[in-house]
A and B are shown apart, each in its own frame.
Chain A
Amino acid sequence: MKRLSRDQLASRVARDIPEGAYVNLGIGLPTLVANHLPPDREIFLHSENGILGMGPAPAPGEEDPDLINAGKQPVTLLPGGSFFHHADSFAMMRGGHLDICVLGAFEVSASGDLANWHTGQPDAIPAVGGAMDLAIGAKQVFVMMEHVTRQGESKIVERCRYPLTAIGCVDRIYTDLAVIDVGPDGLHVLEMVGGLSFAELQRLTRAALIPPPQGMVA
């Protein structure tokens, strides 16, 4: 079994983003997806701070402090891009106008509950940003994360232990081991990395999985 690297995982997510999609990439790991979008597809990246048509990082020396992404890193604007105020930006997010958002997660439950904003630790400072708005508002919510924590614990669980971001919002989970659809009847494995058996994936996952159609591996 070979786990996907962060870039391989980003590339796998990018493959599922179609021509013409309006997409929001969350802070952290999901931001990497931008580097792997197929150049032959016209895809519109939205940034919560009021940008549609966001482009890649500028060349060194070309940074503009008024042109940053949600993670407050410098970005560029593509031809045809636009700027708008926060209420309009969140109308796009909450009003069902984004086709896809890609979010990181601490945990996802078997019923698609998402926990990604707060560890719940007594000394943690809670910070939610736009995560709850994206989770309830995008037409499709993709989660992108490592399958297990550094301690080896499954991040896919029957029931989230971390404070929730939204209930039943996740449509698909991309991990370094598998692609999993969240269906009304449970977690459907669509793909697994080469060399990984379904039994082994199930052993690493603290929620019941439904096996993939035969012969499907990434």
Chain B
Amino acid sequence: MVDKTVVSLEAAVADVRDGATVMIGGFGLAGQPAALIDALIAQGARELTVVNNNAGNGELGLAALLKARRVRKIICSFPRQSDSHVFDALYRKGEIELEVVPQGNLAERIRAAGAGIGAFYTPTGHGTLLAEGKETRVIAGRPHVLEYPLAADFALIKAHRGDRLGNLVYRKAARNFGPVMASAAACTVAQVDALVEVGALDPEAIVTPGIFVRRVVAVA
């Protein structure tokens, strides 16, 4: 019997190596897999490259991972916020590398990695600092910039309900990056609010089919 559930948060992230690229779901705190991040902090992996929309809020979750000095580089669209002081301080001290990516490019680069796309052209960013040095091409009269996929070793995401096959549904706008990140990582780990029996999730409503998910852990 296939069973992707793991017994503990500790087991869910046990094999994250130093230097790994880790996608972390969420937009601000909505959809952020805080329990998995806490487990990753306890696990101790260092020199991580983290992909997230932001760079941590307050002191918990992603901000705590940064504060524990486990992140060498962050790839995100919007690091600077009113409560991003942990990142701000590290960045100003030169202790974390930052790659700023337009949010649509971030989502599409992750999607491309999950879908086996080699690269794509987009008008986003053309003529700006964020396209400097990149290949460009005029398509249908409009300048486009070549962007490459963004894959990861791990994706840590949060969903609302999951089953032992890895099928997931999300809650409201906490869905955000979860489904695309799930498709783009070698090992996707989903923290869910509740595990349900196989067959309990409406197949018409499953957002992330289990093929994209390696591990499911319930967090009360």
Contacts and interface: CB of A to CB of B under 8 A. Distances in A.
Contacts of B123: 94, 136-137
Interface stretch (B6-14, B40-48, B100-108, B195-203): B100-108
Give the one of B31, B172, B174 with max A CB within 10 A. B172
A86 B79 contact: no
A123 interface: yes
8 contacts: A66-B174, A86-B103, A86-B107, A89-B176, A90-B108, A93-B104, A132-B128, A166-B128
Interface residues of B, number: 48
Contacts of B31: 66
Given A49-B30, A125-B91, A85 B175 contact: yes
Contact of B176 (A49, A126, A129, A133): A49
Contacts of A163: 128-129
Given A85-B207, A87-B180, A164 B173 contact: no
A83 B78 contact: no
Size band of the interface chain A makes with B: 35 or more
Interface string A161-174: 00111110000000
A68 B175 contact: no
A136 B128 contact: no
B128 A83 contact: no
Contact of B126 (A65, A85, A86, A136): A136
Contacts of B207: 85
Nearest to A163: B129
A85 B173 contact: no
